[in-house]
Amino acid sequence: MEFRDLGAQYRRLKPEIDEAISGVLDSTQFISGAAVKRLEEKMAGYVGVKHCITCANGTDALEIALKTMGVGIGDAVFVPDFTFLSTAEAVTTVGAVPIFVDVYYDTFNISVESLEDTINKVLNEQKLIPKVVIPVNLFGLPADYVQLKIIAKKYNMVILEDAAQSFGGRIGNKMACSFGDISTTSFFPAKPLGCYGDGGAIFTDNDEWADYMRSICVHGKGKSKYENIRSGRNSRLDTLQAAILEVKFKSFVDFELDAINKAANLYNEKMGKSYDLPIVPQGYYSSFAQYSIKVSDEYQREILIRTLAEKKIPTAIHYPIPLHRQGAYIDMMFKDIDFPISERLVRTVLCLPISPDISEEDITFITDTINQIDF
């Protein structure tokens, strides 16, 4: 059994993917080929924004977005404490300071109350200027953007939506990757929509920012290849990955989103009552990058991991260390007491196998194994 069964997905899509790869090889347009532009147009239309700019990976997407927003030395950027390092890493790369914020227990997403408290602490210290909040739509579920936009407006900040794990998620009819002033996603293979390598994308309705980001992605290019009007970088999605993503995007929309939600619902039906199961608030829709349960403590989690491993059922802990305790930020002297929910989650979260191709038999086997454990 695979944690995220990319092999089953490939076997299901093999004829179309192989044909797409072969088409790129025949064209020899390996960089900036026609598939890249087609993919950008399709994704912008799906998300409901004017511009989609593909790039080399999700971390580059965040860094390019921050640079476009003018973020740099002396700026504070607010990041949820319970997430992967890359969100904060992008902040430090552009010279700004990541300020960590606690999250909600039910949804794992950034806490609006904690955010406002933290913004006021930064303002009172008068060392940094609050500039950006980066909500991370964790495990497939969008954050509370209604309240986040109120906070951002109140403190004259902008929102950079990190939708690396939530492409396809939505609130009502509004899609993930459309909530931020700029939004980003990742095409890392295990993401809801993943390629066969690294890849990322940036979304915005701002024409000027879109032109700037396209330039940054190609060495600060101007009107021609050899006119460089600013300092940029080499961050392009190659044509092979774009062609693969075109095939997978159609399957994602036509089949996979619905299938993975059915799998999550089946888990919810079959799991015992000893665990806190994923919460999807009314009006929200998750793309379920992970199916994450919460156990009572680390002891119970270790028993679960060991018992499932004996049955060759893989598990994962996302995430075992909160950002404020990562070695990269240890000199910033954040205190555990300021992140009670994040500290609780790192001890109690456990992620179970899920993918659009997981079978009902596998989910039944997993849940039966869990439900038979006697603590």
Q: What is the pLDDT of residues 116-175, one digit of tens each?
A: 999 999 999 999 999 999 999 999 999 999 999 999 999 999 999 999 999 999 999 999
The secondary structure of residue 136, as a DSSP letter, is: B
236-270 residue pLDDT tens: 999 999 999 999 999 999 999 999 999 999 999 99
pLDDT number for residue 346:
98
175-212 residue pLDDT tens: 999 999 999 999 999 999 999 999 999 999 999 999 99
Residue 135 CA to residue 146 CA, distance in Å, equals: 12
Question: How would residue 16 be classed by pLDDT, with cut points 50, 70 and 90?
Answer: very high
Question: How would residue 306 be classed by pLDDT, with cut points 50, 70 and 90?
Answer: very high
Residue 151 CA to residue 113 CA, distance in Å, equals: 10
% of the chain at pLDDT higher than 90 = 98
Total-model pTM = 0.97
Residue 186 CA to residue 166 CA, distance in Å, equals: 9
pLDDT number for residue 374:
85
Domains of the chain: 6-247 (3.40.640.10), 252-371 (3.90.1150.10)
pLDDT number for residue 248:
98
Decide if pLDDT at 375 tops 80: no
The secondary structure of residue 312, as a DSSP letter, is: T
Dmax over Cα atoms in the chain, in whole Å? 68
pLDDT number for residue 225:
81
Q: Which residues, other chains included, contact 31 with Cβ-Cβ below 8 Å and sequence gap of 6+? A: 236, 238, 239
Strands 200-204 and 51-55: antiparallel
Decide if pLDDT at 272 tops 90: no
Residue listed under structure tokens 């999550």: 264
Q: Using CA atoms in the order 179, 185, 191, 195, what is the torsion angle rounded to 10 degrees?
A: 140
Decide if pLDDT at 70 tops 80: yes
Give the number of other CB atoms < 10 A from CB of residue 29: 16
DSSP string covering 200-222, please? Answer: EEEEES-HHHHHHHHHHHBTTB-
Residue 94 CA to residue 290 CA, distance in Å, equals: 29
Mean pLDDT of all residues in 83-103: 98
Strand order in the sheet with 129-133: 51-55, 200-204, 182-186, 158-162, 129-133, 75-80, 97-101
Long-range contacts of 295-302 (CB under 8 A, 24+ apart): 295/348, 295/350, 296/348, 297/347, 297/348, 298/347, 298/348, 300/375, 301/347, 301/348, 301/350
